[in-house]
Amino acid sequence: MLEQILVLLPQVLFDGLILGFIYAMIALGYTMVYGVLELINFAHSEIFMIGAVTGVEVFRYLAPLIPNGYLLLLVAVVVGAAVAGLTAILVERMAYRPLRRRGTTNRLVPLVTAIGVSFFLQDLVRLIEGLWHNEFFLRMRTVPDLEGSFTLFGGAIFLQTKSVIVVVVSVLMLLGLTYLVNRTKLGMAIRAVAQDLSTASLMGINPDQIISRTFLIGGALGGVAGVLFALIYTTINPYVGFLPGIKAFTAAVLGGIGNIPGAMLGGLVLGQLENFFGTYLPILTAGNFGTEYKDVVAFLILIFILLFRPQGLLGQMVKEKV
Amino acid sequence: MSLLSLALSLVFLVLSFLAPHTLTAFLGLGALGVAAFARLEPRVRTLNLALLTLAFTLFLRNSGNTLGLIGLVGILVALTTLPRIPRGIRVVLGLAILLLSVPIAGFTNTFIFELGIQIGIFAAMALGLNVVVGMAGLLDLGYAAFFAVGAYTWAIFGSPQAGKFLQGNFPLPGEYMYLFMFIAVVTTAITGLLIGLPALRLRGDYLAIVTLGLGEVVRILANNLDHPINITNGPQGITPVARPPIDWFRSLIAHLGVRLDETTDYQLFFYLLVLAMIGLVVLANVNLANSRFGRAWVAIREDEIAAQAMGIPLLPTKLLAFMTGAAFSGVMGVIYGAQRTFVSPESFTLLASITILAMVILGGMGSIPGAILGAAALTILNLDILKTFSEFVRTSLPWIPSQVDPAKYERLVFGLILILMMIYRPQGLIPEARHRAELEEEA
């Protein structure tokens, strides 16, 4: 048994890393919006799904036109980010902004709206795909360029070219976001609004505009994560966003909600944990509990964090003002 | 104005005899709209509603068209919400609709019984969730989990399933269902306690996510507990679930001079059982709302910190709300399992939880008639209107691809309802008195 575990370990760690990067990218969207609005943007999992569906459609239509797989993926990532980012902006405009204008103090109102948006988007995508292709269970088209594989460490790790691409793209994205938030004017404005919206608006920042851009950035990252998800997991449908969305939210909470490095860390940790349990649970329990319990693991982690360290790994405690 | 509305109702009454078609039903709904919204003398309005009740009942008897049921639901709403209708008339008309009109319609078209039962089950659950969300302000997104626990409680023992992991004679005879309704109250309340203890310490928005997660955990367990020990039979679900024997009920009804056949006897029985349950749940709800606990819940909903400062113990009070809501749902789960004779994890998804939440929000958080109206509206929409619309699309708009079937787009509809309600009418269709008072203050 121990031998079995050790033999699989390198591979498990690497697969967990890929999953972790995807979670990290989605978690950033949750964390940024939460930082600015204190809203759990439920619909973010659907933004991710829209990115994935967009990726599938780009591959479907452009694969014959663009012979080079890497270029094709670049186009898919850009288009996916754009579509998802614009959807996020629209969601904020149509659903969340009217609530802010009315100025409700009730936390449940925006949350219920977000759930509504999430459900609405799922079926809207299904409707569009249904009218367009008469099917909504989609398969990512395979491109020979991206289908290579090789082994490392004398066969201990089996790598697909795809997974290396995912890691590279995610790292670039995360670095880009870190730069944007810490070193640019827009990033400074986002941090200012996150710290104190009303004071920021007195300092000449237009909060509505900054909130819009926050949604754009978070949505675009979610969209890129979606395209990469479609590349790796290949089968996509309009309901595919739910579980990754919930888990990415767990990752954001694990890192400390509202905290950008925290979201990245949380995603990576959760990816490892989930993959670890998903692989080893059947081995450890002699096949009595299968892989299907890996989703339960994520939820239980979420509950434990919220109970014992609600501020997350890297977050600070916020005192509730009365 | 009053003459016009009475004339409309009379025309509809006559047409129900002569031409009970869809168009006639729309005329009736129009007449109901006039009766409800026009400025009428209270007496005229009362007479009008009575006339319309008669007309819709006749319409249903002659056609079995479910639009008539929508009309009856509308009359019930008018009876509960419009001012200055004598109380006696309200009670008599309401009971007449529930106990006479709907069964009469059900004998013409058994689908109406099915609708009535489903509305009833969902209304009772919406009332349960209304305690949790509406009164105590705790957003629970895993409410279907309690429903599942209740349904499985009876399904496992009311079918051969229990014999797979226990010694004994299973299935238990159908009479045990009544006992299991009480057992389900206990099992679901314990589930509520287990879920609530960790979750209820959290802030509102985290609570929502955690209950959602725990709801999914319950579903995953139901889906996978067919190994190593087969407890829930996994994704195949459990069938057949025993129903209580109803010979006594048949003879009772026969004494009243109604002949039941094989299809309608159980339908009528379950319809009346569900009605009785709703009566109990409403009674419990009203009493709870006016009790110490109800006031404590509302206090927590309005301002948790102030409530705490006034000496309300937060966690026990919230747990009580959670367990109460869970218990209502559990009892309905038992009835649901017995009525369908089949229980599977598919019925307890997030969609089911959100459906019930949408009912509460559409009706108005904290409002008892609101929860029932929300349940009626969304159930009819789901089981009837969307399906009719699907038929229409298939037959009249053949250019629409076959995958686009409106009946499958519940999420789209519920999502829209949630968004629009939150933006334009967050207090719901029939606001709770307290919310109404707040709105008047603002105006």
Instruction: Please write the tens of the pLDDT for every residue from B37-62.
Output: 888 888 888 888 999 999 999 898 88
Whole-angstrom Cα distance, residue B315 to residue B197?
8
Nearest CA in chain A to B408: A123
Contact B423 A98 (CB under 8 A): yes
Q: Please tell me which residue of chain B has the smallest CA distance to A307.
A: B198
State the pLDDT at residue B38: 82
- Write B180-187 long-range contacts (CB < 8 A, 24+): B180/B153, B180/B154, B180/B334, B181/B154, B181/B331, B181/B334, B181/B335, B183/B153, B184/B149, B184/B150, B184/B153, B184/B154, B184/B330, B184/B331, B184/B333, B184/B334, B185/B327, B185/B330, B185/B331, B187/B149, B187/B150, B187/B153, B187/B330
Residue range A233-262: mean pLDDT, rounded = 90
Angstrom CA distances, A97 to A209, B77, B184, B333, stand at 11, 33, 43, 39
CB neighbour burial string for A186-211, b if at least 16 within 10 angstroms, e if fewer: ebebbbbbbeebeebeeeebebeebb
Are residues B210 and A118, on separate chains, in Cβ contact within 8 Å? no
As beta bridge partners, residue A150 has: A159
Chain B residues touching A295 at Cβ < 8 A = 216, 220
Q: Which residues of B touch A123 (CB under 8 A)?
A: 409-412, 415
CB-CB contact of B332 with B121 (8 Å): yes
Over the stretch B306-341, which tens digit does the pLDDT of each residue have?
999 999 999 999 999 999 999 999 999 999 999 988
Closest CA to B418 of B362, B341, B350, B375: B362
- For residue B400, list chain A residues with Cβ-Cβ distance below 8 A: 131
Candidates B354, B402, B416; nearest CB to A115: B354
* Cα gap B215→B196, rounded to integer Å: 12
- pLDDT tens track for A201-210: 999 999 999 9
- Say which range, A82-91, B103-112, B367-376, has the weakest mean pLDDT: B103-112
Q: In the predicted model, what is the mean pLDDT of residues B151-155?
A: 92
pTM of the model: 0.90
* pLDDT score of A227: 95
Taking the CA atoms of residue B24, residue B26, residue B28 and residue B33 in that order, the dihedral angle to the nearest 10 degrees is -160
What does pLDDT average to over chain A? 88
Q: Which amino acid is present at A192? A: A
What the block records as the tokens of B297 is: 């819940």
| Best residue of B135, B209, B365 to probe chain A, by most A CBs closer than 10 Å | B209
Residues 6 or more apart in contact with residue B391 via CB below 8 angstroms: none
- A290: number of Cβ within 10 Å: 13
| Lowest-pLDDT range of A143-157, A197-211, B230-244 | A143-157
pLDDT the model gives residue A24: 93
Which chain A residues are closer than 8 Å to B207 by Cβ? none
* Residue A133 pLDDT class (50, 70, 90 cuts): confident
Query: What residues have CB less than 8 Å from B291, skipping those under 6 apart?
Result: none
CB contact under 8 A, B415 and A116: yes
Q: Hey, are the CB atoms on A299 and B354 less than 8 Å from each other?
A: no
Query: Which chain B residues are within 8 Å of A131, Cβ to Cβ?
Result: 400-401, 404
Nearest CB among A112, A134, A302 relative to B361 is that of A112
Query: Chain-wide mean pLDDT for chain B?
Result: 87
Tell me the CA distances in angstroms from A245 to A249, A298, B97, one per residue in order: 6, 12, 46
DSSP code of residue A152: E
In the block, tokens 């009203």 appear at B286
B118 sits in which H/E element = helix B110-129
For residue A118, pLDDT beyond 90: yes
Which helix (DSSP H) or strand (DSSP E) does residue A160 occupy? strand A157-160
Look at residue A30 and tell me whether its pLDDT is greater than 60: yes
A264/A259 Cα distance (integer angstroms): 9
Q: What gap in Å lies between CA A58 and CA A224, rounded to an integer?
A: 13
Residues of chain A contacting B204 with CB distance shorter than 8 Å: 107-108, 111
Contact A299, B213 (CB under 8 A): yes
User: How many Å apart are CA B16 and CA B28, to the nearest integer?
Assistant: 9
What tens digit of pLDDT does each residue of A182-231 get?
A: 999 999 999 999 888 889 999 999 999 999 999 999 999 999 999 999 99
Is B357's CB within 8 Å of A115's CB?
yes
Per-residue pLDDT tens digits for B198-208: 888 887 778 88
Residue B302 is predicted with a pLDDT of 86
pLDDT more than 90, % of chain B = 35
Cβ atoms B336, B181 nearer than 8 A: no
Closest CA in chain B for residue A309? B202
A205 in the Ramachandran plot: left (φ > 0), alpha (ψ -120 to 50) or beta? beta
- The predicted pLDDT at position A322 comes to 47
Q: What pLDDT, on a 0 to 100 scale, did the predictor assign at position A318?
A: 60
Closest residue of chain A to B221, computed from CA coordinates: A293
Q: Is residue B126 over pLDDT 90?
A: yes
**How is A103-136 classified by DSSP, letter by letter?**
T---SHHHHHHHHHHHHHHHHHHHHHHHHHHS--
Please say if the pLDDT value at position A32 is more than 70. yes
Name the token pair of B43: 């007496």
The three-class DSSP label of residue A175 is helix
pLDDT on residue B323 = 93
Express each pLDDT in B246-278 by its tens digit. 888 888 888 887 777 777 888 889 999 999 999
Provide, as residue numbers in chain A, all residues whose Cβ is less than 8 Å from the Cβ of B220: 292-293, 295-296
Distance, CA of B425 to chain centre: 21
Residues from chain A that touch B227, judged by Cβ atoms under 8 A, are 288, 290
State the DSSP code for B164.
G
The alpha carbon of residue A209 is apart from the nearest alpha carbon of chain B, in Å, by 21
pLDDT in tens, B161-181: 877 777 777 788 888 889 999
Count of residues for chain B? Answer: 443
Interface probe for B, chosen from A40, A91, A111, A119 (most Cβ of B below 10 Å), is A119
Predicted local confidence at residue B130, as pLDDT: 92
pLDDT value, residue B443: 55
Grouping H, G, I as helix, E, B as strand and the rest as coil, residue B401 is coil
pLDDT surpassing 70 at residue A319: no
With a cut of 50, say whether residue A86 has pLDDT above it. yes
Query: Quick one: pLDDT band at residue B442, thresholds 50, 70, 90?
Result: low
Mean pLDDT confidence for A160-178: 89
